[in-house]
Amino acid sequence: MEDDPLFAQILRDLARELGFKCIVAGTADEALRLASAFRPEAVVLDIGLPDRSGLTVLELLKRDPAMRHAPIHIVSVHDYQQVALEMGAVGYILKPAKREHLVCAFRLLEERLSRERGSILIVEDEGMQRDALIDLLATEGTDIVAVETAEGALEKLRDQRFDCVVLDLMLPGVSGFELLGELSRNERHSLPPVIVYTARSLTIDEEQELRRLSRSIIIKGARSPERLIEEVTLFLHQAESKLSPEQQHMLELARSRESALDGRRILLVEDDVRNIFSLTAMLEREGAKALIARTGREALECLDREASIDFILMDIMMPEMDGLEAIRQIRARKEFAFVPIIALTAKAMSDDRENCLEAGANDYVAKPIDVEKLLSSMRVWMPK
């Protein structure tokens, strides 16, 4: 999936040279249509597609049971590496990309496709819980290694490669926090995705500590057995058809319970009454509370009154103060520097997209708004 014809040709020729058959798409919508029709075994994906962000495409593919197991490698000028890896991408290359780096990307995809077995490391000190996790995650074609301590985990990571680690934070001796810190500092250990599985919710301070300790480790916090199944299968790139009926049912439960917008406070900045009505109805249907501002200036005044805004949807073409200037002023405020903002653009030309991102938007959605596209983009950027 690449909108630059010259670079798409380079990728296509290299793929064929390395023995792959190749389908090329220049837009997100074309890519999703071709993925549905041909069910490719692997994907190379650009982020800056003309009609919507490649991150939204990644999110949609990973929600599709028929495509979820396909390894996806990102090649992009935009640096969204951490987000993409957390969403299940197997690798990330920044443009301009050298030929040897592109070859490595295709070799990684080839290695993933040829791998016959997946592997999980469970780090849990309580015996019954450890056995329960083994039973929960056991599938045909998956090797599970379970240890009781952080020291045992380090020893196993020295000796073999794992696709993901399921980690309890409260370990005897060296804690899970300290283990993550050791892994992030020690280049001798491979750094697989880490799924923190704990009975209690993490505080904001604890989550920030995890991020600080493990810049190069992907951390996902599982809150339930269903969510754990979903996240482990994401990193193992397992086809759902190979899971047991019970595990497939748990995946369905995890998806049905998932609502990234439930209880969230969304600031909708829009001057078109029809869009206000339709978007407010959509947000409330998803369990979110919508706050309305009709100009960029009203949006800033609303933020002065409402400190606890989780997300901002920002129309670009508005009277008084347009959306780009409003985004710049929001980003200048320390307390709102990291609140996700999706720009709602009248068209999705390349310069409009770049202007939105340069002003500080996380993403963009073109009008007329496709609700499913917007929801997918919001799931990508909504704070976990």
How is the chain split into domains, by residue range?
Answer: 5-113, 118-257, 265-381
CA nearest to 121, candidates 95, 159, 88, 87: 159
CA nearest to 202, candidates 384, 44, 27: 384
Buried b (16+ CB within 10 A) or exposed e, 223-232: bebbbbbbbb
Residue 123 pairs in a beta bridge with 147, 167
Spatial distance between the Cα atoms of 145 and 174, rounded to a whole number of angstroms? 19
pTM: 0.77
**32 compared with 180, residue with greater pLDDT:** 32
Report the half-sphere exposure of 217 (CA within 13 A, side-chain side): 33
| Percent share of the chain, pLDDT over 90 | 42
pLDDT at 190 over 60: no
pLDDT at residue 303, as a whole number: 92
The amino acid occupying position 148 is E
Look at residue 56 and give its three-state secondary structure.
Answer: helix
pLDDT at 212 over 70: no
pLDDT at 220 over 70: no
pLDDT at residue 97, as a whole number: 92
Q: How far is CA 119 from CA 116, 157, 192, 312, in A?
A: 10, 11, 10, 40
pLDDT at residue 353, as a whole number: 78
Q: State the helix-helix crossing angle for 127-137 and 225-236, rounded to 10 degrees.
A: 60
**11 compared with 318, residue with greater pLDDT:** 11
| Percent share of the chain, pLDDT over 70 | 91
Provide mean pLDDT across the span 311-329. Answer: 91
5-113 in CATH: which number? Answer: 3.40.50.2300
What's the gap between Cα 72 and its chain centre?
12
Spatial distance between the Cα atoms of 76 and 80, rounded to a whole number of angstroms? 9
Provide mean pLDDT across the span 297-302. Answer: 93
pLDDT at 199 over 70: no
Provide mean pLDDT across the span 61-90. Answer: 89
Mean pLDDT of the chain: 86
pLDDT band at 339 (very low <50, low <70, confident <90, very high): very high
What are the two backbone dihedrals, phi and then psi, of residue 313, each rounded to the nearest 5 degrees?
A: -105, 120
What's the gap between Cα 65 and its chain centre?
16
Provide mean pLDDT across the span 141-146. Answer: 92
Provide mean pLDDT across the span 290-303. Answer: 93
Residue with tokens 């073999």: 160
Spatial distance between the Cα atoms of 268 and 294, rounded to a whole number of angstroms? 8
pLDDT band at 219 (very low <50, low <70, confident <90, very high): low
**221 compared with 158, residue with greater pLDDT:** 158
**379 compared with 239, residue with greater pLDDT:** 379
**168 compared with 10, residue with greater pLDDT:** 10
Beta strands in 77-141 (DSSP E): 91-94, 118-123
Read off the tokens for 91.
Answer: 């690798």
265-381 in CATH: which number? Answer: 3.40.50.2300
pLDDT band at 236 (very low <50, low <70, confident <90, very high): confident
pLDDT at 215 over 70: no
Query: Over the Cα atoms of the chain, what is R_g?
Result: 22
**319 compared with 100, residue with greater pLDDT:** 100
- Provide the residue count of the chain: 384
Provide mean pLDDT across the span 257-285. Answer: 86
Spatial distance between the Cα atoms of 258 and 149, rounded to a whole number of angstroms? 32
Residue 271 pairs in a beta bridge with none
Look at residue 261 and give its three-state secondary structure.
Answer: coil
pLDDT at 260 over 80: no
Matching CATH topology for 5-113 and 118-257?
A: yes
Spatial distance between the Cα atoms of 248 and 53, rounded to a whole number of angstroms? 29
Residue 312 pairs in a beta bridge with 267, 341
CA nearest to 282, candidates 376, 371, 379, 378: 371
- Does 3.40.50.2300 match the CATH number of domain 118-257? yes
Provide mean pLDDT across the span 169-177. Answer: 85
